Structure 1
Amino acid sequence: MILAKRPEVDRFLARPDPAVRAVLLHGKDRSGVGERATTLGRTVVKDLNDPFNVTLLTDADLDAGDGRLEDALAAMSMMGGRRLVRVRLGAAKAGIDKALADAVKRHADGEFNPETLLVIETDALGRDSALRKTAEAAQGAAAIACYEDETGDVARMTREALAADKVGLTSDALERFVARLPRERGLMRQEIERLALYIGPGSGRTLDLDGLEAHLGVEPDASLQDAALDAFGGRAEKAQGALRRAFAEGESAVSALRQLSLHLQKLRRIAVLTANGAGPKEAAKAAGVFWKQEAEMLRQARSWRLELLEEVHESVYATDAAVRSTGSPDQLLAERLLLEVSARARRAGL
């Protein structure tokens, strides 16, 4: 089954058809893929970290070839009820694509535990993908392509999120804000949350264009932005200094990783747009790059290939999980990642 139109996708994510046992979410917007997978997963279990009813698998687990996916799909809940199996993939691999296609077909046909929902998250898949073909054709499966949000969808998302905090923007301010947002779902939500905090949740205020411009000029985490810019530019000492300055100012390791992720997504957005024919300046603007950083960001984008950015994305994800663990040396972990990014940048020629 193919789900393409936004209303039908939203309805399915909120209340999936119980006959559907496997769902493929794929697209260039990995934040959008992850957000939809989370929404879908919560219809099955309340806690996505439940060790008894949730299994998370990655490329490495599937590469092992020891039947972990089949075991997870066949397992029964110890406490009764439904189970969730999430498969989160990085770069597409032909072997894994075929293996997952086979698993989706078998699960959709009822070979495994019918009370288990299989959710697969991956990059955009071409029409030659066996996994995509199977998910689209099988009766007990669904395929959802996660495209970048259109301007109207972004404006609607912004209005709804701000309204939930009892704040808002005038029409011209909303147009300006939406135009500068990066088109990555997770990053958009972060920027909207940041704006709501600036306006004052529950205040009932509506910010006009002048007020928005004042917000856009406020950079409370400027040291972290400098650290990310310098790290991806291969300037290890400056990046390290900016990071330590940010920590001295009270910033957290989680915030540092957020800035690294934000910078990475902007570079990835520029790379994708230019690869599809957009001009460099046009791509930088669409990625939400501040005009003063445009030249440096474009310099970096010329050296950071998409496959290198994906490798860094995996490192950021792993470090974020480690930082959030109780008792972890979070600042040291963030600093180590920053130095790793700087080293990768230098190897890339920066």
Structure 2
Amino acid sequence: MVALKAQEIDRFLAHPPEGVSLVLIYGPDTGLVSERAQKLVAQATADNDDPFSLVKLDAADISADPTRLIDEALTIPLFGGRRVVWVKDGGSKNLAPAVDPLLKQSGEMALIVIEAGDLKKGTGLRKRFESDKKAVAIPCYADGVRDVERLIEEEVRHFGLTISREARQALQEHLGADRLASRGEIRKLCLYAYGKERIETGDVDAVIGDASAFVVDELVDAVATGDLETIDHGIERLEETGQKPDIIANNALRHFQLLHRLRGLYDKGAPAAQIVNQCSPPIFFRRRDTVAREIGLWNREDLEKAIDRLGQTVREARLNQNLGPALVSDVFLTLGRVSRARRGRR
């Protein structure tokens, strides 16, 4: 089955077809990957009271023992119902030896849900799932303007609040790179404004302005422009605001993926300033000159290497929470030095 379209995904998560046994949830927005996997697993286990019906595995466990996955998939539940096997971090290991036998199964088996990162089209797990009729692939890309609007409306309504048009616009400028991070910021704002009837721009400035996305953007821009002094203190500042290192690294990953796309247009002859001004979703106006400089500093080959390093750091920081700050600081300083060297040559 090909990857589901955006309008099909919510329906599938709310009512997963019984005939589907293999689901791959992948994409660069790791927060959205996690959120959709949680929704699917919750829906699939909603009517099952058996505490052993849900099995959580890490990709490393399966990679070490490929037969583990099919053993779990074919295990008959003791108390009836359907088992669900939830695999985390599926993009970091080669799971093909474990998945291939499942694709050949014709009988009934557990629902297998695999989380993965940004997978290239036509390769690995993504190719296997998109070309098999029994499997479903669900892509998770960064939220667009309409997605962010729906997310804001959903959370604000949940707290019994409304939000002014100006406050909504101010809030949107800080959201979209990571679904879980965006949802967390909106909930923090709603808690701050709880007891009021409407969220105003002042509430957004008080809660979001200095403590979240803008500070993350400032740090990411420091990495992309080689501002080593800002990088040095940036991680500490963000930790004080409660930001997790893996979320910070994921924001940097999304930005470097954006630069890779914009650099492609730049290499075709489009002026950097024009590219930035026409970017969708729009780049915050205070950052546009900086992003335009970044496009000129980084070539596509270096951006691909940076994206690979950042992707590895996001995974490692999530698996090793205690080492997260050190891991993120190391990769940020490394990329900052690369950028400073490029800037010196220019």
Q: Determine if the alignment matches structure 1 residue 263 to structure 2 residue 255.
A: no
Q: Which residue of 2 aligns with 1:339?
A: 329
Q: Determine if the alignment matches structure 1 residue 157 to structure 2 residue 151.
A: yes
CA distance in 2, matches of 1:57, 1:66: 12
Q: Which residue of 2 aligns with 1:106?
A: 104
State the AA in 2 paired with 1:240: D
**Retained in 1: the 8 A contact 2:89–2:116?**
yes
CA distance in 2, matches of 1:158, 1:56: 33
State the AA in 2 paired with 1:258: I
CA distance in 2, matches of 1:202, 1:103: 55
Residue ranges of structure 2 left out of the alignment (5+ in a row) = 341-346
**Retained in 2: the 8 A contact 1:29–1:185?**
yes
**Retained in 2: the 8 A contact 1:27–1:33?**
yes
State the AA in 1 paired with 2:316: A
Q: Which residue of 2 aligns with 1:218?
A: 209
Q: Say what the alpha-carbon RMSD is for the aligned residues.
A: 4.2
Pick from 296, 302, 320 the counterpart of residue 322 of structure 1.
320
CA distance in 1, matches of 2:30, 2:245: 20
Cα offset, 1:159, TM superposition = 1.1
TM-score for both structures, normalised by structure 2: 0.71
Q: Determine if the alignment matches structure 1 residue 205 to structure 2 residue 206.
A: no
Distance 1:317 1:80, change over 3 A: farther
**Retained in 2: the 8 A contact 1:228–1:263?**
yes
CA distance in 2, matches of 1:257, 1:129: 26
Cα offset, 1:211, TM superposition = 4.2
Residue ranges of structure 1 left out of the alignment (5+ in a row) = 324-329
Q: Determine if the alignment matches structure 1 residue 275 to structure 2 residue 276.
A: no
Residues 267-297 of structure 1 show CA distances to partners (whole Å, capped at 9, x for unaligned) of 3233234436786454486466544444444
Q: Which residue of 2 aligns with 1:73?
A: 73
Q: Which residue of 2 aligns with 1:188?
A: 182
Residues 111-167 of structure 1 show CA distances to partners (whole Å, capped at 9, x for unaligned) of xx71343435343553x4475565346453223344554533332222122111222
Cα offset, 1:227, TM superposition = 5.2
State the AA in 2 paired with 1:239: I
CA distance in 2, matches of 1:279, 1:62: 48
Q: Which residue of 1 aligns with 2:91?
A: 90
CA distance in 1, matches of 2:35, 2:42: 11
CA distance in 1, matches of 2:144, 2:333: 36
Answer with 69-78 or 10-19: which moved more.
69-78
Cα offset, 1:21, TM superposition = 0.6
Residues 286-323 of structure 1 show CA distances to partners (whole Å, capped at 9, x for unaligned) of 46654444444455564361442243233234324433
Distance 1:151 1:61, change over 3 A: same
SS at match of 2:209: coil
CA distance in 2, matches of 1:298, 1:74: 53
State the AA in 2 paired with 1:157: L
Q: Which residue of 2 aligns with 1:327?
A: none
Distance 1:75 1:307, change over 3 A: farther
**Retained in 1: the 8 A contact 2:159–2:194?**
yes
CA distance in 1, matches of 2:170, 2:78: 52
SS at match of 1:86: strand
State the AA in 1 paired with 2:312: E
Residues 233-254 of structure 1 show CA distances to partners (whole Å, capped at 9, x for unaligned) of 555554333444666xx544x5
CA distance in 2, matches of 1:12, 1:226: 38
**Retained in 2: the 8 A contact 1:240–1:335?**
no
Pick from 114, 117, 138 the counterpart of residue 119 of structure 1.
114
State the AA in 2 paired with 1:84: V
Distance 1:314 1:196, change over 3 A: farther
CA distance in 2, matches of 1:280, 1:56: 45
TM-score for both structures, normalised by structure 1: 0.70
